[in-house]
Amino acid sequence: MAIIYNEQEKTYTIQTKNTTYQMAVNKLGVLLHTYYGRKIENDNLSYTAYGDMWPYTPKNEEIKGDEVWARIDHIPQEISCFGCGDYRESAINIRHADGTMGLQPIFVSAEIKSGKYSLEGLPAFYGDEGETLVVTLKDRVYDVYLHLYYGVLPEYDLITRSLVIENKTNEKIHIEKALSLNLDFNYGNFDLVSFEGRWAQERRFQKAPVLHGKTQVFSTRGASGHIMNPSCMLANKNATETTGDVYAFAFVYSGSFLISASRNIQDNTRLVIGINPENFDFTLEGGEKFQTPEVAMTFSYNGFEMASQSLHKAIRNNLCRGKYKNARRPVLINNWEGTYFDFNADKLVSMAKDASELGVELFVMDDGWFGKRDDDFSGLGDWFVNEKKLGCTLGELVKRINDTGLKFGIWFEPEAINEDSELYRAHPDYAFKMPNRQPTLARHQLILDMSRKEVRDNTYDQICKILDSANITYVKWDYNRNITDLYSCEVPAEKQGEIYHRYVLGLYELLERITSRYPDILFESCSGGGGRFDCGMHYYMPQAWTSDDTDPIERLKIQHGTSFIYPVSTMGAHVSASPNHQTGRITPLKTRGNVAYFGTYGLELDVNKMTDEEKTEIKRQIKEFKDHYELIQRGEYSRLISPYETDSLYCVWQVASADKSEALVCAVKHRTEASTHPEFVRLRGLDETKYYKVNDDKIYKGATLMYNGLMLAESWGDYESQLYYIEEVK
Ligand code: DGJ
C-alpha cells in the first residue's frame, strides 16, 4: 500500500520508494500539509504544523470562526484559498453568485483507490501499478466542493496532484484562479531553479533565492513558450548534482502557466503551480465541475541528479505513450536547414538517396510542400499538396523516397493560418481576431481558434486526408507563434476568459484523435524549436524538437538545462551544417554528432553537399548511435560537468545502464586556453568493485573511475569532443 490512512490520527500518508508525503485533518476539518521529504515510516508528523490552531481549540468546541481562522495564514495546508485569512499566494479563488469571494474548505471524506487516476480530456501520468487518493473538501457556507487528487507511482518516487472544483449550488460561480498544486513547507531558504530562454536559447538553467515577496516563473502566451518552462526545482542552498535536498515539479500542461514561490512572515515557503490566472475566468453553472491539469513532483535527498533521474523514468515509462515509447526510433534526415523552402521532388529524392547510403532510415519533408507556400507569407491552413512545386503527387514522391530505402515523414503546422490561404478566404472567422482590432500577425500568420469543434474538425479532416493518401510514418507538428487577439466569435462576452484554456483542451482533443487514429506514426512536437516543450505535449508525442539552434556548443546549455526535467529520449537533436546557420560558428563534425547522440540523433543539412570524408564520418556516427541506442535512450543520465560552470573548459554528460554494466561519456570542450592541465572527470553510476574497459583499451576499477576520475585525452583547438564507452570486464 502506498497510501495509508490512520483513523485515530486522521493522517493520510503517501509512501514511495524513498519519500513520504503526509497530510492530516485537524479538529476544525482543515486539511494540513504535515510533511514531504525523505522517507519516514509510520509516524504522525502533525506537530510540524505548529502554527495550527488546534492547540488553542478545546476539543469538539463549535467553530467560532474569526479568531481561529485568522491563524490560517500561518499553517501549512494542502489547499489554500483566497478570501478567508490566508494572505499568501493562494491556489483557488472563487467569486460566488452573491458577489462574495473566497472559500473555507473543510474535510468531508477521502477515498483510496488502486491504480493512478487519469483525467478526461487532459494529459496525465498513468499506471495501473500506482494508487490514487481523493480527498473531498467543502466550503463552510456554500455548496462548493474541492476534490483533491493525489496519484502515486511509488517506484519512481512520483506523486501527482490535480483537483476538481464542483459547484453544487443552484447558481453560477466564477473561478478566477484554479491552480493545481499548493505545497507548503514549514521552513524557508530554498533556491528556485527554473529554465528560462528565448527562441533558439530554450530552457537554460537559472537559480534564484526564494525571498519574502514572490519568485515567479510563468507564461501568459497561451502556450508554455520559449521564455520559461512549466517546470522547476526547489533546492537547498548548498544542493549539488549529488548532495542536498531537491524537490522537482513538472506541470502537465501546454498553455499559460504560473509557478510562484514565496516565503511568509514565519519564513515558511509556499509553492503554487497551475494555469495562469491572467486572462482566466471560468464560469461554472450549478452542477458543473472544473478539472485542473496535473502537476508531477518528486523529491531527492541526493541532489539534482536523483530528482532528474526519477522524472526521466516516469516521463519515459508512464507519460509517453504509443509504439515509439519503447520501439527504436528511426534515424531521420529533415530537409529544413538543407533547403528551407527551395525544393522539389527531385531534390528531396536526391537527398534521400545519399542519406540512405549513410544509414539514415527516415526522410522528413519539412515546411513548404502544401498550398501556395514558397515562403512564410502564405499557405498555412491549406493542407493539400502543391503538386506544381513538387513536380508530382505526394504518393509518387513517397514511393520514390521509399524506393531509396527510407521511410517518409511530413511537417504540419495545424494550428496556424495565413490570411493568404484558401481556408482563410472561406472562413476568416476561424482565426482568433477581436471584433474591433486589427489582428496582430507574427511570422505573417494568425492562430486558429482550436476551442471551436468546427475548426478542429476541418483541421482533422485535412490532416487525415494527407496521412491516408500515402505511406507516411512520421509527423512533425509545428506551432510557430503565440496567441494574440484572444477572442472566440461564438462565445458570449462573459465566457471569453475561458478561451485560453479551452484552446488547450481543444488542442488535446485533436491530438488524441489524430495520434490514436495513427498508432504507427511517430509524432514529434515542435514550436519554433522548443517553444512548447512540456509534459502535456509529451503525452501525445514522445519527442520534441529541442531548439531551432543546432549549433552544438549552444546546444550544450540547451540540452543540459532541458535534462533537469526531461529525458534524453524526448530531445530532438540533429547534426547540421558548419558554419552553423544560427551562429556562424565552425565546429568539428564529430562534436556535432556527439552532442546529437544525447538526444534523438538525426541529420538536418543538405547531404548532397557533403564531402566523401564527411559522409564516412556520418556513416560511422549513425552506426555508433545505433550500437548504443538502448544505453543512451534508457540509461541513467548524469550531468558530470556543467557548461554553465566557468572553471572548466568542458561540458561532460554520461549515461549508465541500470545494471552498471556499461556507460557512455561525452566530453565537449566549449572553450580553449593555453597551458592547461589534464581534466579528471569523476564518473557515476558504476559498480565500485567491478572492472571496466575504457574505449576497448585500458582497464580501471569502478571505484577508481568514480572516485579518482577518468583522465580526458588531451585535445587541441576549439570545440573538440571525446566519447568514451565504458564496458564491464566480465
Ligand atoms: C520552425 C521549426 O522549428 C523548424 O524546424 C522548421 O520546421 C520551421 N519552423 C519551418 O517553418
The answer to the question of residue 226 being in a domain is yes
The answer to the question of residue 20 being in a domain is yes
Q: What is the model's pLDDT at position 58?
A: 43
Q: What is the model's pLDDT at position 142?
A: 97
Q: What is the model's pLDDT at position 48?
A: 75
Q: How far apart are CA 8 and CA 136, in angstroms?
A: 19
Q: Convert the pLDDT of each residue in 177-196 to its tens digit.
A: 999 999 999 888 999 999 99
The answer to the question of residue 614 being in a domain is yes
Number of Cα atoms under 13 Å in the Cβ half of residue 700: 22
In short, whether 202's Cβ falls inside 6 Å of ligand 1 is: no
Q: How far apart are CA 51 and CA 173, in angstroms?
A: 32
Domains in the chain: how many in total?
A: 3
Is the domain of 88 the same as that of 230?
yes
For residue 311, name the pLDDT band (cuts at 50, 70, 90).
Answer: very high
Q: Which domain holds residue 43?
A: 3-318
Q: Convert the pLDDT of each residue in 525-578 to its tens digit.
A: 999 999 999 999 999 999 999 999 999 999 999 999 999 999 999 999 999 999
Q: How far apart are CA 385 and CA 393, in angstroms?
A: 7
In short, whether 411's Cβ falls inside 6 Å of ligand 1 is: yes
CATH number at residue 207: 2.70.98.60
Is the domain of 433 the same as that of 308?
no
- Average pLDDT, rounded, for the chain: 95
Domain stops at, among 635, 654, 672 = 635
Is the domain of 184 the same as that of 166?
yes
Q: Which of 396, 419, 614, 687 is catalytic?
A: 614
Q: Give the contacts of 142 (CB within 8 A, at least 6 positions apart).
A: 96, 103, 169, 173
Q: How far apart are CA 484 and CA 506, in angstroms?
A: 17
C-alpha of residue 559 to centroid of ligand 1, in Å: 18
For residue 646, name the pLDDT band (cuts at 50, 70, 90).
Answer: confident
Q: Convert the pLDDT of each residue in 347-391 to its tens digit.
A: 999 999 999 999 999 999 999 999 999 999 999 999 999 999 999
Is the domain of 424 the same as that of 295?
no
Q: What is the model's pLDDT at position 43?
A: 86
CATH number at residue 676: 2.60.40.1180
Provide the grid cell at 517.
487514429
Is the domain of 298 the same as that of 392?
no
C-alpha of residue 724 to centroid of ligand 1, in Å: 33
Label residue 536 exposed, middle or buried (CB < 10 Å: 0-12, 13-18, 19+).
Answer: buried
CATH number at residue 400: 3.20.20.70
Q: Is the pLDDT of residue 66 over 80?
A: no
Q: What is the model's pLDDT at position 50?
A: 61
Is the domain of 117 the same as that of 197?
yes
For residue 26, name the pLDDT band (cuts at 50, 70, 90).
Answer: confident
The answer to the question of residue 494 being in a domain is no
The answer to the question of residue 427 being in a domain is yes
Verify whether residue 241 is a known catalytic residue: no
Is the domain of 224 the same as that of 89?
yes
In short, whether 199's Cβ falls inside 6 Å of ligand 1 is: no
Q: How far apart are CA 184 and CA 613, in angstroms?
A: 59
Is the domain of 624 the same as that of 682?
no
Is the domain of 570 the same as that of 609?
yes
Q: Is the pLDDT of residue 684 over 70?
A: yes
Q: How far apart are CA 237 and CA 230, in angstroms?
A: 22
Q: How far apart are CA 453 and CA 348, in angstroms?
A: 36
The answer to the question of residue 492 being in a domain is no
Report the pLDDT averaged over residues 720-724: 97
The alpha carbon torsion through 341, 198, 181, 452 (nearest 10 deg) reads -30
Q: Convert the pLDDT of each residue in 432-452 to its tens digit.
A: 999 999 999 999 999 999 999
C-alpha of residue 478 to centroid of ligand 1, in Å: 7
Q: What is the model's pLDDT at position 56?
A: 43
The distance from CA 108 to its chain's CA centroid, rounded to whole angstroms, is: 34
Is the domain of 84 the same as that of 197?
yes
The answer to the question of residue 508 being in a domain is no
Is the domain of 619 the same as that of 644?
no
Q: Convert the pLDDT of each residue in 217-233 to its tens digit.
A: 999 999 999 999 999 99
Q: Is the pLDDT of residue 599 over 80?
A: yes
The answer to the question of residue 326 being in a domain is no
For residue 604, the ligand 1 atom closest to its alpha carbon is 5
